[in-house]
Structure 1
Amino acid sequence: MNDSKKLGINTTCVHVGEVKDEQFKGAVSPIYMSTSYAFDHVDVKRYPRYYNTPNQEMLCKKIAALENTEDALIFSSGMAAISSSMFAFLKRGDHVIIQQVIYGGTYNFIVSEFDKYGIEYSFTESDKIEDFKSLIKANTKILYIETPSNPLLGITDMKAISNLAKKHSILTMIDNTFASPINQNPYNFGIDIIIHSATKYMGGHSDISAGAVAASAVHIEQIWKTAINFGGNLSDQTVWLLERSLKTLNLRVKTQTENAQTMAEYLEKNKDIDNVYYPGLQSHPQYKLAKKQMKGFGAMLSFELKEGIDAMKFQNSLTLIKPTMSLAGLESTTVSPTQTTHALLSEEERLERGIKDGLIRFSVGIEEPKDLISDIEQAIKKVKK
């Protein structure tokens, strides 16, 4: 595991993976924009698509340190990270087991692409270990999970998944985006490959698109061999911005997590809200499991408005919280999963996963909770009128 984990989390965020400015001794990493490097008399033949420019190489060290893994790779998006990782370990005739409630983009990727390549797949009926176990076949190569899940914040037992997979010599992958490395480190529970949409908490400012994968050096090497053919590398300008953003990752996520707990408790008591999905609530069915495997419960939650309160009218009545497509920025945002993240699913498929029209996913930012509460209350009042 990465020795950098011996450092404090803020120290790791700020200092691990810095590009040293040897010439001018600047306090921040210099940015190397070149797409052409020397090939003779050099230790490394560098090329952007090979994920080894100076900025790319050092940022991978920071991400590996944050996830406590040996190595990491960065990509142009979360989906580039997911697709490159999947295809690195799969071939025609292989089988994958996928947790039922996952990010809609991941679901669409699997059902749209795997059949073309002769890759079999099965979705579980829940996040319970028994469901995964019952679907294992002789050709099963990957167990893919997402915890907390998008958008209902379900919790999957990582240690149980890891033990099951190792018993059958199966690889495990997790989408760790919602938790971030601050609140959860799946590698510590035996998960092999950790994936992030770095657009979200790692970027944190709603201004860059990126993805990340953290794993052992052996697994990263195999992903790299596939990734260089798909060309999902990140531009060095965005690499530099992501490294800058990661310096405040712990400060941002800790504040957002504390705010999310306050907002979840408020929403749970609100008479105009039917259900609140947040692993930090004791009413959450997997609260004890979340407490066991998470260092913090995260800054994402979902809630359902009572029947008769239109979800879109409510969101359009908000004045401080922004109804937007993405999540995890400094600012609080909402989204309707039925119209965005899970719009590619049929209505029947969405309902099977518990995703109703009145469901709102709430990404809690760094604002004062009292201001967010005030905004929600005025919006509900306006819609009810």
Structure 2
Amino acid sequence: MNSEKKGINTICTHTGEVEDTQYRGAISPLFMATSYQYDGMDEKRYPRSFNSPNQVALGKKIAALEKCEAGMIFGSGMAAISHCLLAFLKQGDHIILPETLYGGTYNFVVKELPKFGIEFSFAKGFSEIDFTSEIKKNTKIIYIETPSNPLMKITDLEMIGRIAKQHNLLSIIDNTFASPINQTPADFGIDIIIHSATKYMGGHSDISAGAIACSQEHKDKIWETSINMGGHLSDYTVWLLERSLKTMALRVKAQSKNAKKMAKWLEQHQLVSKVYYPGLKSHPDHALAKKQMKRYTGMLSFELLPELDAIEFMRALKLVKYSMSLAGIESTILSPAETSHFLLTKEERKKQGISDGLLRFSVGIEETNDLIFDFEQAFQLVTKKQLV
């Protein structure tokens, strides 16, 4: 059966399996070898070549989920991003990105690309003119992330795909916050889709990985660079990631449902000044998100009233973990200023709209009543402390 005609849970469960031809086991066998016979074989396999049996199979699953021809697995999301950009950019080239970027991506662009003589500029907003006004003769790539981290801004995928094709540019998206369960950018003409597979694909806060999905031609180009940079993932972790992907659709749907409930509850809370979640009708990009997303993400951000101490609030939580990273089955909360955007200066964070009081909430699969109870007791503790 064609992968495009399979249901999403079927793709998650069965596409890209390694067949156990010896014992007929129900799951993919794990091939840990770093040395393979090459004489008389169809391929010269070596883990750093991204072509071990488990890597190849998982690439097929990632590609099917994103409705693309090919996929590759990396050691981290930043490995996927850096390998991809360096595969298509050379000295004298130019890339356009939005101002609101994941801190790691922003830091890589401003700190590393100049070392290669690669130019970059940031679109001042999210409209067509904001991006087209930055296009130069040497522009090669438009890079976006939507929803953005951490302010959940939405970029029009159809618009970006159209602009890129009109100007013969490559379009690249970080699709981590949506996951292929909530959004498939290839449907809108985006060329390359990147994921921090540590997040929703891994889903259990125990795997660090990255992934790309694209055409075979683009994958071959990325491979030419990646084989020289050594950013592959160990086969044991590849195997664990394939196991985790089997339940991704179930997890992400539950997390997205919970996040929408929590966003609505937080929006009505008297101690919350603002909530950033594209599933809310009050979000400025709600109509666009509804148009290009199947449902909304399990991520949201919010700000407490200025007089409340955001750090003390997080410390007061008992069920929700005051913890780094995101998208695990357990709910976590953090301060972007302390973590994901720590490498940016205070001025750079302010320019992106990231205040010290902004909190990013990764909603898990717990019962929302339990999450609300935890938030309420934390609010009470913080307000009592504030009054003392």
Q: When the two structures are superposed, what TM-score results if normalisation uses the length of structure 1?
A: 0.99
In 2, are the aligned partners of 1:332 and 1:364 still within 8 Å (CA)?
yes
Deviation, 1:297, is 0.7
- Which AA in structure 2 matches 1:53? S
Deviations 1:52-103 (A, max 9, x none): 1010000000000000000000000000000000000000000000111010
Please state whether the residue corresponding to 1:245 is helix, strand or coil. helix
In 2, are the aligned partners of 1:173 and 1:193 still within 8 Å (CA)?
yes
CA distance in 1, matches of 2:128, 2:175: 18
CA distance in 1, matches of 2:68, 2:322: 35
Structure 2 gap segments, 5+ residues each: none
Residue 152 of structure 1 aligns with which residue? 151
Residue 75 of structure 2 aligns with which residue? 76
RMSD of equivalent CA atoms: 0.8
Residue 277 of structure 2 aligns with which residue? 278
- 5 Å-filtered alignment, 1:211-250, equals 211-250=210-249
CA distance in 1, matches of 2:27, 2:164: 42
Residue 352 of structure 1 aligns with which residue? 351
CA distance in 2, matches of 1:124, 1:314: 34
Residue 310 of structure 2 aligns with which residue? 311
CA distance in 1, matches of 2:34, 2:347: 47
- Which AA in structure 2 matches 1:134? S
- Answering whether residue 257 of structure 2 is matched by residue 258 of structure 1, we say yes
Residue 268 of structure 1 aligns with which residue? 267
- 5 Å-filtered alignment, 1:61-210, equals 61-210=60-209
- Answering whether residue 15 of structure 2 is matched by residue 16 of structure 1, we say yes
Deviations 1:244-297 (A, max 9, x none): 000000000000000000000000000000000000000000100000000011
Structure 1 gap segments, 5+ residues each: none
CA distance in 1, matches of 2:129, 2:185: 20
Kindly report structure 1 stretches of 4+ aligned residues shifted beyond 3 Å.
none
Please state whether the residue corresponding to 2:337 is helix, strand or coil. helix
- Which AA in structure 1 matches 2:191? D
CA distance in 2, matches of 1:31, 1:381: 50
In 2, are the aligned partners of 1:3 and 1:65 still within 8 Å (CA)?
no
Please state whether the residue corresponding to 1:195 is helix, strand or coil. strand
Deviation, 1:346, is 1.1
Deviation, 1:128, is 2.0
Deviations 1:304-352 (A, max 9, x none): 0001111110000000000111000000000100111111111111111
Deviation, 1:357, is 1.0
- Which AA in structure 1 matches 2:283? H
Please state whether the residue corresponding to 2:173 is helix, strand or coil. strand
Residue 363 of structure 1 aligns with which residue? 362
Please state whether the residue corresponding to 2:219 is helix, strand or coil. helix
- Which AA in structure 2 matches 1:320? L
Q: How many residues align?
A: 384
Deviation, 1:355, is 0.5
Name the % identity.
62
In 2, are the aligned partners of 1:100 and 1:127 still within 8 Å (CA)?
no
In 2, are the aligned partners of 1:309 and 1:380 still within 8 Å (CA)?
no
In 2, are the aligned partners of 1:277 and 1:284 still within 8 Å (CA)?
yes
CA distance in 1, matches of 2:308, 2:127: 33
CA distance in 2, matches of 1:178, 1:106: 14
Deviations 1:4-23 (A, max 9, x none): 12101111100000111110
CA distance in 2, matches of 1:161, 1:350: 25
In 2, are the aligned partners of 1:267 and 1:273 still within 8 Å (CA)?
yes
Q: When the two structures are superposed, what TM-score results if normalisation uses the length of structure 2?
A: 0.98
Deviation, 1:129, is 2.0
